[in-house]
Structure 1
Amino acid sequence: MDGKVLQMDGHRIVSFERFLKHPVEKVWRAISNPEQMSKWLTVNSEMELKVEGQLAFRWENGDVVEGKFTKIDPPYELEYTWLEQTSGYSLVRWRLKNEVGGCRLHLTHTFYESAVVPDFLAGWHVHLDVLDVVLNEQFTRFPWERVKEMRKKYASIMT
């Protein structure tokens, strides 16, 4: 459930794996549909869901991520570049696998430049928690305080 940091070819990779009690198709819609993403990722997104299609994520605090889709294999795999001012260029990859009673979600975020990894660990951790809440149709508000708690936890583990 907690995120891990892997090293490969000199790059750091934030990795999460979760079992979700929902069909792959439902999870796919949640990670690839702007309306769904606005709830769990707290982002206004514009997406052209095709290989080489552009994407833009805009948060209320002014942060912007731009990128393009590099792989789309509905409903099992989604991959896109992630370019933002603070962390530079990186790659996000979602993989979904059918399992009895739901699906296995595997998320990796590969950093090619320096990034504050504990921030990404905390952010993805809580956003994935909220994804499950949204899929269960129990969402009320995003738990920003939980992100701060998780950031402290991951920062203490990485020092």
Structure 2
Amino acid sequence: MTELTAPDDYGVLTEPATLTLQRLLPGSIERVWAYLTESELRRQWLAAGTMTLETGAPFELVWRNDELSDTPGQRPAGFPEEQRMPCHITELDPPRKLAFTWQGSGDVSFELAARGDQVLLTVVHRRLPDRSTLTMVGAGWHMHLDLLVASLKGEAKAPFWEGWARLRQVYEQRLPA
């Protein structure tokens, strides 16, 4: 995966049904890898779920977005308090690449590359089925990555649901119809 020409916090369409996001993160690749693969660290910014780090291994992601920040905000109608998703690892190259299935909308890959004392994280979500899913997923990844940055820096986390709702409107405007 090549770097975007002008990476910023917003995801971009790199193919018609593929959203790519990049973040420059503090710390070593090994530290960031741990936040991607270890359930207790991953649940601080995305979802819990124990992974066996083997290609083909099944695992389950368990979201509790209300618990991601001290003040999560009002959960939008239609979103459960807890959501579970079965996945399986499709590609693994520790500590540089992790890819897995994403039920209902393709697959997700995380690539890590050292940049001095920082790490470039590239998230690619492929085969998003429609524009509504694309804007929801764009806002979700954006907000979850903001929480990852805060977790890695030891900073306070912004309220999840308020941020997601604001970002969904932004992605509605930024992404082509």
Taking structure 2 as the reference length, the TM-score comes to 0.78
The 2-side partners of 1:142 and 1:55 are apart by 27
Amino acid across the alignment from 2:145: L
Partner of 1:77: 97
Report how far residue 141 of structure 1 moved: 6.4
Say yes or no: does 1:18 pair with 2:23. Answer: yes
**Cα deviation digits, residues 105-153 of structure 1 (max 9, x gap):** 1110002533610111101011111101101122456522011000001
Residue in 1 that maps onto 2:3: none
Q: Which of structures 1 and 2 has the larger relative contact order (alpha carbons within 8 angstroms, sep 6+)?
A: 2
Indicate conservation of the 8 Å contact 1:78/1:95, yes or no: yes
Amino acid paired to 1:103:
V
Inter-CA distance 37–29: structure 2 relative to 1 (3 Å threshold): same
Q: Is the 8 Å Cα contact of residues 98 and 110 (structure 2) preserved in structure 1?
A: yes
- Give ranges in structure 1 of 5+ residues lacking alignment: none
Tell me how far apart the structure 1 counterparts of residues 10 and 157 of structure 2 sit (CA, whole Å).
23
Question: Structure 2 matches for 1:36-51, cutoff 5 A?
Answer: 36-41=41-46, 43-51=47-55
Q: Aligned in 2, Cα 1:91/1:30: closer, same or farther, shift over 3 Å?
A: same
Partner of 1:109: 125
- TM (normalized to structure 1)? 0.87
CA contact (8 A) 1:34 1:47 kept: yes
Unaligned runs of 5+ in 2: 1-8, 65-79
Among 32, 35, 39, the alignment partner of 2:37 is 32
2:154 paired residue number:
137
1:65 aligns with 2:85: yes
Q: Contact between 1:40 and 1:142, CA under 8 Å: does it hold in 2?
A: no
Give the conservation status (yes or no) of the 8 Å contact 2:109–2:125.
Answer: yes
Structure with greater strand percent: 1
Q: Distance in 2 between matches of 1:79 and 1:103?
A: 18
Is structure 2 residue 57 aligned with structure 1 residue 53?
yes
SS, match of residue 67 in structure 1: strand
Q: CA deviation at 1:74?
A: 1.0
- Equivalent residue for 1:6? 14
Percentage of matched positions with identical amino acids: 25
Deviation at 1:71, TM superposition (A): 1.1
Count residues in correspondence: 151
CA RMSD of aligned residues (A): 1.7
Counterparts of 1:103 and 1:120, CA distance in 2: 23
Say which of 86, 96, 108 aligns to 2:112: 96
Q: Residues 104 and 140 of structure 1: is their aligned pair in 2 closer, same or farther, counting only changes over 3 Å?
A: closer
Rounded to whole Å, the distance in 2 between the matches of 1:103 and 1:25 is: 10
